[in-house]
């Protein structure tokens, strides 16, 4: 029995010794380092805010249209016997240059006939004057002779007939001049509907043309753009004193620019679009076609207009990518923390934003996208020079 107890006590003793050894080892084992690493700062791109005096630039699109556009209408009837080489689509003509001529034989004969009637009427007037003189001599001494006896009504009728004959002569001469069709301005032909040998009637529209002395561009302005210009609705500038405008358009894979002036604003708001239209004018848009690489500001061309507006003093310029929803701006502080600011916007364009408060000159405006921004979170600025060398840019990151 004792031997059985010994055999049972040996495993228990071994187990107890093992537990004791493990307890001693755990008591004297080295403790691990419990230091925690702070959260890593988020890398962002920034751009410095700049305080300066700025002239507001309004960017708006519009279509070029002719300032003077006319339908060419015949005033007399006849067969077309001569056509100018420029009486074609796109043809250029000078002021009072004959575009086409109508057969004028009938109108020349009408002038000769009218001249003969004037000559006959002049003879009738001379005859009436002679008769009146004879009548007045014969009635000398008679009391209160009647006007009829003095031949006065007959003289008046002869003079009226002379005036009518002269008016008919003037009309005949005018109709003769109308056989040569022209326009009173220098311009271009848009389209034609008649040609040599065709018979036309009076009042027929035979072509459409426009003047090339100047063209207009209608520019729709929103409330903010109107405020940037600093002029009221319905305002008209004095000649030569309009706001400067630079137009640009891409044609044949090249960008061309033209200069003009804003001349007036409409006096009413468009009821459909709720915008105010301004009109800009460009002088001599077709005048430099003799130069190499010249391009006219053609009628119908869709252009971008940059209008120079009012001056703003001590404005803070920030990149357009730095303006967030709700009029907020993210600032990277000197301590490397995120500061969320509300700003008062003066004017915003796709390239820049001008604010009057909320940002201080020299502060770093964040242009990177930040997911779940929290005020006070750690940030660090990325070297923009390195970014530029890699082929990117601040605006590219903002996109």
| Predicted pLDDT at 394 | 31
Asked whether residue 138 carries a pLDDT value surpassing 90, the answer given is no
- Is 198 in the same domain as 281? no
Is 6 a member of any domain?
Answer: no
Which residue range forms the structural domain that includes residue 193?
70-103+183-210
Instruction: Give the Cα separation of 54 and 348 in Å (integer).
Output: 12
Asked whether residue 60 carries a pLDDT value surpassing 80, the answer given is yes
Out of 288, 312, 336, a domain closes at 312
How many domains does the structure of the chain reveal? 4
Cβ neighbors of 153 (< 8 A, separation 6 or more) are 147
Asked whether residue 5 carries a pLDDT value surpassing 60, the answer given is no
Is 205 a member of any domain?
Answer: yes
- Is 112 in the same domain as 128? yes
Domain containing residue 216: CATH number: 2.40.30.170
Asked whether residue 125 carries a pLDDT value surpassing 70, the answer given is yes
- Is 222 in the same domain as 337? no
- Is 305 in the same domain as 220? yes
Asked whether residue 249 carries a pLDDT value surpassing 70, the answer given is yes
- Is 319 in the same domain as 304? no
Asked whether residue 383 carries a pLDDT value surpassing 70, the answer given is no
Query: Which H/E stretch holds residue 354?
Result: strand 352-357
- Is 285 in the same domain as 298? yes
Provide the sign of the torsion angle of the four alpha carbons 246, 250, 252, 253, taken in this order. Answer: positive
Return the minimum-mean-pLDDT range out of 100-109, 142-151, 194-203, 347-356.
Answer: 142-151
Return the minimum-mean-pLDDT range out of 1-15, 242-256, 260-274, 319-333.
Answer: 1-15
Is 38 a member of any domain?
Answer: no
Asked whether residue 18 carries a pLDDT value surpassing 90, the answer given is no
Mean pLDDT of 294-311: 92
Most confident range (mean pLDDT) of 11-20, 48-57, 205-214, 349-358 is 205-214
> Global pTM?
0.71
Is 307 a member of any domain?
Answer: yes
Most confident range (mean pLDDT) of 13-27, 142-156, 205-219 is 205-219
Instruction: Give the Cα separation of 277 and 271 in Å (integer).
Output: 12
Is 165 a member of any domain?
Answer: yes
Domain containing residue 333: CATH number: 2.40.420.20
Asked whether residue 103 carries a pLDDT value surpassing 90, the answer given is yes
Instruction: Give the Cα separation of 160 and 143 in Å (integer).
Output: 29
User: In whole numbers, what is the pLDDT of the chain averaged over residues?
Assistant: 86
Asked whether residue 288 carries a pLDDT value surpassing 90, the answer given is no
* Residue of 134 and 85 predicted with greater confidence: 85
Greatest distance between any 2 Cα atoms in the chain: 198
- High-pLDDT (> 70) share of the chain, %: 85
- Is 195 in the same domain as 247? no
- Is 343 in the same domain as 374? yes
CA distances in angstroms from 177 to 53, 74, 81, 101, 173, listed in the order given: 61, 12, 15, 10, 6
């Amino acid at each position: 029995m004792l031997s059985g107890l010994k055999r049972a006590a040996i495993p228990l003793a071994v187990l107890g010794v093992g537990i004791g050894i493990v307890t001693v080892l755990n008591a004297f084992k080295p403790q691990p380092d419990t230091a925690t690493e702070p959260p890593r700062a988020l890398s962002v791109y920034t751009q410095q805010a700049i305080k300066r005096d700025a002239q507001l630039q309004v960017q708006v699109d519009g279509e070029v249209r002719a300032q003077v556009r006319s339908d060419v209408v015949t005033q007399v009837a006849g067969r077309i016997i001569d056509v100018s080489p420029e009486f074609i689509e796109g043809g250029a003509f000078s002021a009072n240059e004959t575009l086409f001529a109508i057969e004028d034989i009938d109108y020349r004969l009408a002038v000769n006939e009218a001249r003969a009637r004037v000559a006959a009427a002049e003879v009738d007037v001379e005859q009436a004057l002679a008769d009146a003189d004879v009548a007045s001599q014969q009635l000398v001494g008679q009391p209160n002779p009647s006007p009829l006896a003095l031949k006065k009504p007959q003289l008046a009728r002869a003079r009226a007939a002379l005036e009518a004959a002269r008016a008919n002569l003037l009309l005949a001469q005018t109709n003769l001049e109308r056989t040569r069709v022209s326009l009173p301005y220098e311009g271009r032909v848009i389209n034609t509907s008649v040609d040599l040998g065709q018979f036309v009637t009076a009042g027929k529209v035979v072509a459409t043309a426009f003047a090339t002395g100047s063209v207009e561009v209608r520019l729709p302005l929103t409330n903010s753009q109107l405020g940037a210009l600093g002029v009221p609705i319905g305002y008209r500038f004095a000649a030569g004193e309009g706001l400067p405008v630079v137009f640009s358009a891409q044609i044949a894979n090249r960008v061309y620019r033209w200069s003009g002036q804003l001349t007036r604003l409409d006096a009413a708001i468009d009821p459909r679009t709720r915008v105010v239209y301004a009109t800009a004018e460009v002088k001599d848009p077709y005048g430099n076609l003799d130069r190499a690489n010249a391009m006219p500001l053609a009628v119908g061309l869709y252009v971008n207009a940059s209008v120079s507006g009012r001056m703003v003093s001590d404005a803070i310029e920030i990149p357009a990518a730095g303006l967030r929803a709700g009029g907020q701006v993210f600032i990277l502080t000197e301590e490397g923390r995120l500061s969320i600011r509300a700003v008062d916007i003066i004017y915003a364009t796709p390239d820049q934003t001008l604010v009057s408060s909320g940002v201080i000159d020299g502060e770093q405006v964040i242009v990177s996208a930040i997911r779940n921004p929290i005020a006070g979170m750690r940030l660090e600025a990325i070297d923009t020079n390195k970014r530029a060398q890699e082929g990117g840019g601040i605006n590219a990151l903002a996109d």
